[in-house]
Structure 1
Amino acid sequence: MSNQPPYPPQQPYGQPPFQPEPPKKRSVGKVVGLGCLGIVGLFVVVGIIAAVIGGGSSDSKSSASVGKSPDKAAADTRKSDTKKDATDDKVVFKVWGTAPAGALGGLDIGYGSDSDTRKGTFKDGKFEATLTLDKGALYYNVHAQLQGSGDINCSVTADGKTKKGHASGGYNICTAQLSSNFTGGWS
């Protein structure tokens, strides 16, 4: 026979039979610090991109003022910044080429922005329309679908930028789109 008692030792009344584990410590500081570092990093990357994009546009102004005094060059730059071309406030949509009417009719043209879509008519081998430029628009596009045969080109121009497209034969679609970018320009 063994020297062990017949029953396990009794726990005092109201206490659990084992010690509970202490609560785990959370490393909130590390997570918050890493989040702040990520946000700061994002601002640094955006700043670098803006500097690269902005750096390209200033070269054209400085090269135009070579050989002039600094005061006169600065005055010329201010004048060119304030001078606006009449086309700066317009978006021009164009379609041109050969597109005979097919079984579904003539060339199907649509143009406009993300919030304003219109239909166009192709006459004498061309189509052209102009809209007022809305700096808040996400994009401007033009599309033209052939109706069985033909060869067409299309373009959209806004703020000095142009995108072009081409379609040939069948029921192919010519499309061109300018999209706004985060700097307020068009690409």
Structure 2
Amino acid sequence: MSNQYPQQPQQPNWGQQPTQPGYGYPQQPYGQPPFQPQPPKKRNVGKILGIIGAVFVGLIVIGAIAGGGGNSADNSNKDKAAAVTSDKPKAAEEPAAEQPADDKPAEDEKKDKPKVVTFKVWGTAPAGALGPLDINYGSDSDSRKGDFKNGKFEATLPLKGDAMYFNVTAQLQGSGDINCSVTVDGETKSGHASGDYNICNAQLSSGLLGGWS
């Protein structure tokens, strides 16, 4: 038998690097790790979107601040305008149109009317043998007869400044119950009579210092 040893791989010459079977990549030098292809670099889309969002938010904030400042300026101008308007003197109100002479208040009509004296008799006074209730009224210079109807009598006379008194009398004719009064310039005097031929009398006299009592 021949003593044969397995064939040893041929060593490369000094300075020459062995080659590896190729896969479309360049051969690596002997003793170095095989070539690993680098994956393509991914674009940092997230960072770009973040930057764009930050810029957009910043623009919104700036716009809001600018708008708020504009509103404040507008409100300030409005307040100043209102203050100037309030300081202006108010226009004088137009005088009310005068009322026609026919539309005078009731008080003025009362003042225009002459003062009068009022005489009254009321109650129950049946007619008797001598006739109905006998009524006399007037002043010291003017005496008149009254007519009693439906249980009452009322009459007026102009108030004369020279009159000394005004009075009213009513005499029953056998029965009845009556009251009488005289009113001069807001003052009133009254009287009463009941039964038989009694007389109801009311009188106001002019005072020395004016007025009636």
Q: TM-score range by the shorter chain?
A: 0.5 to 0.7
Residue type matched to 1:128 in 2? E
Match of 1:65 in 2: none
Partner residue of 1:177 out of 203, 207, 210: 203
Match of 1:155 in 2: 181
Partner residue of 1:95 out of 121, 126, 138: 121
CA distance in 1, matches of 2:189, 2:179: 11
CA contact (8 A) 1:88 1:160 kept: no
CA contact (8 A) 2:118 2:156 kept: yes
Q: How many residues align?
A: 106
CA contact (8 A) 2:114 2:158 kept: no
Partner residue of 1:141 out of 139, 144, 167: 167
Query: TM-score w.r.t. structure 1 length?
Result: 0.54
Match of 1:109 in 2: 135
CA distance in 2, matches of 1:175, 1:98: 16
Query: TM-score w.r.t. structure 2 length?
Result: 0.48
Task: Identify the structure with the greater strand proportion.
Answer: 1
1:159 is displaced (CA, Å) by: 0.3
* Greater mean deviation of Cα atoms: 96-105 or 85-94: 85-94
Inter-CA distance 86–102: structure 2 relative to 1 (3 Å threshold): farther
* Superposition CA RMSD, Å: 1.8
Residue type matched to 2:185 in 1? D
Deviations 1:6-60 (A, max 9, x none): xxxxxxxxxxxxxxxxxxxxxxxxxxxxxxxxxxxxxxxxxxxxxxxxxxxxxxx
CA contact (8 A) 1:91 1:133 kept: yes
Partner residue of 1:123 out of 112, 124, 149: 149
1:135 is displaced (CA, Å) by: 1.2
> Which runs of 5 or more residues in structure 2 are unaligned?
1-107
CA distance in 1, matches of 2:194, 2:112: 34
1:183 is paired with a residue whose SS is coil
Inter-CA distance 119–128: structure 2 relative to 1 (3 Å threshold): same
> Which runs of 5 or more residues in structure 1 are unaligned?
1-81
Runs (4+) of structure 1 moved beyond 3 Å? Answer: 82-88
Q: RCO higher in 1 or 2 (8 Å CA, sep ≥ 6)? A: 1
The share of aligned pairs that are identical, in percent, is 73
